[in-house]
Chain A
Amino acid sequence: MSSGSPILRRRFLAGGAALAAVVVLSACGAKTDAAGTSSDKAAKIDISGDTVKVGLLNSLSGTMAISEVTVRNSLLLAIDEINASGGVLGKKIKPISEDGASDWPTFAEKAAKLIKEDEVAATFGCWTSASRKAVKPVFEKNRSLLFYPVQYEGLEQSPYIFYTGATTNQQIVPALDYLKSQGKKSLYLVGSDYVFPRTANKEITAYAKANGMTILGEDYAPLGSTEFSTIANKVKASKADAVFNTLNGDSNVAFFKEYKSAGLSAKTMPVVSVSIAEEEVKSIGSQYLAGQLTAWNYYQTTPGAANEKFVAAYKAKYGEDKPTSDPMEAAYTSVYLWAAMVEKAKSFDPEKVKAASDGITFDAPEGKVTVDGATQHISKTARIGKIGTDGLITEVWNSGKPVEPDPFLKGYSWAADLS
């Protein structure tokens, strides 16, 4: 990423010896050096025995647990299914769960633990961009694989991460295209104060500029903020045609309750949300959300046999009232994709798995997806949905065919200045 001077691969020998002398332990530094440990080796993977371990890294406590627990559930479902049909390369998958605790340095610690102590073949998880940024160097340094299942802001392409959620051109750009086709000329942007919304809004602003739309306002609330009366007032006063919502987690509940109280609705000023899936609809209430729009690649109502099977299996395992959602589907898919890559590579070695990844397809609940080996993203069908009074989201538009991933938006002239 950074194109600066390469860091000198010097060793701390001199300094180490001096320090060690002070503490009368001069042998220490040299000894380790003599052993000649080097980080150039890929992380070890434990394939002894008849199981292969994978890491599940999700927040099970803290503010992000509200979303991430469901992702872990669907990861476990996929692992169960694969194991039931014989496992991968003849080995059963053994999931090792770790709690990221909604705390980014903890994510980094747990990622290192999974790689170094458990010697997992791959890790699945992370939700926020911040947690992904925190673990990215860990996976890169140890040459281990992470499958990241959530839509994100793009502009990233780590050689050791597979992105199975949507990048911007598979979610945000289609949503903007849809709004444009509906004749919406002015937008108000509301988001949580972190990387994804800020970056997404930069992209939206660039798109608007190139497409004759105006941005009437842009507001951010700290993550977890639940006081939205002022923002609702501002949105209302702006008289925008539509609102583009990149709020995350708890804030959405407060925002939509306030939105309705301010007398705004899907009829007067529709809101397109990119972080509200079935699980969030359930916790906010269709009372507040009916008629509002969402942009994803999957809904519980998406037609097809693969989805019927997924929804049925999920409900059978976790309860009839539990909905499925896009990040859950992307997580579920990511396990199958990894398994397919491993089978094709005939090895658990990350380098071989990476090499085998290009062109792997899977009939996912969202439809057929294909891995793009160059970007390590997957092609996905973009879908705009409308939230119904029953709390389910039904598709009102889709891209017709899977959209190729373009994390750096190279195919869009308006995005030239973004990165």
Chain B
Amino acid sequence: MNVLKGRSARAWAGFAGGAFALFAVAPFALSDFRLGLLAKYLCMAMVAVGICLAWGRGGLLTLGQGVFFGLGGYAMAMHLKITDAGPGNLPDFMQLYGTADELPWWWRPFENPVFAIAATVLLPMTVAALLGLFIFRRRVKGAYFAILSQALASAFAIWLVGQQATTGGTNGLTDIQGFFGYDLDDPVNQRMVYFVIAASLLALIALARQLIHSRYGELLVAVRDSEERVRFLGYDPANVKLVAYVVAAGMAGLAGALFVPAVGIISPALIGIVPSIEFVIGAAVGGRASLVGAVLGALAVAWAKTALSEEFPAGWTYFQGLLFIVALAFLPGGLASLTKLFRRRRAVAQKSPVIPVGEAA
């Protein structure tokens, strides 16, 4: 029990430290522009929290998070575009490329802010539930699930691009100006968007931690390690996986929704195969099974992308590729396993009977 208490205390300390850094240090240390970028990275980290749960703890190869991110993002952006346009007017891009004189029927519900906010989370969760129901019941696993997720992400992106009159096509929904009545042009409001995102990330981390350490979290690891065995214990592993998948989708949806006011754009470029892989890579680099690892990994990868491309605009993809290769091929547990390695070394030095346990294979 002491071990548990120690872990819990450390978690609280880490959580408080993170909150302090996000709310008290970053806003003062960073320029408006860098803070805006941090807000964007935090959105990536929110997706990573879900990936840590679904992939790290549940072993689900979630390569279609872009779809859920996009659903959340579009739900939010649709509402903001409608309010930007004002009552009775069509959003700017519809005036340019559209054929209809009024809002398409499936845009109408998004006029309502409550519906739109709920949809940012519930829409991805519903889609994930339907998909997961089919996929997990039929026991589509491993590599198949990975390829299938990618195909779906790609199909969704192609569909969005093809519907230019109602979705903005390749452009996506751009030039978002207001956020529930607050002008996004104003740096103070941008800063508040950052605070909302930071608070949401912390809330998601707390939620994920609760789930991971709950009985459900233990069961999820059990399903990851031996699905068949869990079935013999009288559980339906499909349901166990479904919960993690749906929660991860909801987190990605919320991240997408908050990405919109932070960056001012949502487009199919954030939905296809490449962004879906990038979401996963952040969590993998940091350590998929560790919540802290996944979050810091996502932040680090997003930051590295910006920093490397600013420093070496013409050759940065070498470094990015190299980072992925080194981190994943040679550090299967991600950067988080480094601390574990260190802790184990220290423990061995103290000759205490610590038993090494590898990360997920």
Contacts and interface: CB of A to CB of B under 8 A. Distances in A.
A7 B269 contact: no
A155 B171 CA distance: 15
B270 A105 contact: yes
Most buried by A among B40, B164, B192: B192
Given A4-B85, A9-B183, A155-B96, A99 B309 contact: yes
A229 interface: no
A219 interface: no
B322 to A, nearest CB: 15
Contact of A4 (B89, B162, B170): B89
A138 B31 CA distance: 16
Interface in A140-165: 141, 155
> Which 6 pairs across A and B sit closest by C-beta, in order of nearness?
A4-B86, A12-B192, A116-B33, A194-B170, A5-B86, A7-B178
Contacts of B178: 7-8
Interface in A258-301: none
A193 B170 contact: yes
B227 interface: no
Most buried by A among B175, B191, B274: B175
Given A133-B171, A195-B164, A112 B36 contact: yes
A10 B181 contact: yes
Contact of B169 (A3, A22, A28, A193): A193
A82 B177 CA distance: 38
A137 B170 contact: no
A419 B94 CA distance: 10
Describe B's contact surface by its main secondary structure. Answer: helix
A1 interface: yes
Q: Size band of the B side of the interface?
A: 35 or more
A203 to B, nearest CB: 12
Interface in A18-56: 19-20, 22-23, 25, 28-29, 32-33, 37-39
A3 to B, nearest CB: 6
Contacts of B95: 1-2, 419
Contacts of A138: 264
B216 interface: no
A137 B313 CA distance: 23
A2 B187 contact: no
A199 interface: yes
Interface in A192-206: 193-195, 198-199
Interface string B176-191: 1110011101111101
Given A113-B310, A199-B96, A2 B84 contact: yes
Interface of A: 1-5, 7-12, 15-16, 19-20, 22-23, 25, 28-29, 32-33, 37-39, 60-61, 97-99, 101, 103-106, 108-110, 112-113, 116-117, 128-130, 133-134, 136-138, 141, 155, 193-195, 198-199, 220, 222-223, 419
Contacts of A141: 185
Nearest to A69: B314
B157 to A, nearest CB: 9
A25 B194 CA distance: 14
Given A2-B92, A136-B175, 15 more contacts: A4-B84, A16-B188, A19-B192, A19-B195, A19-B196, A28-B23, A99-B314, A109-B306, A117-B33, A128-B170, A193-B170, A195-B164, A198-B97, A198-B164, A419-B96
A193 B161 contact: yes
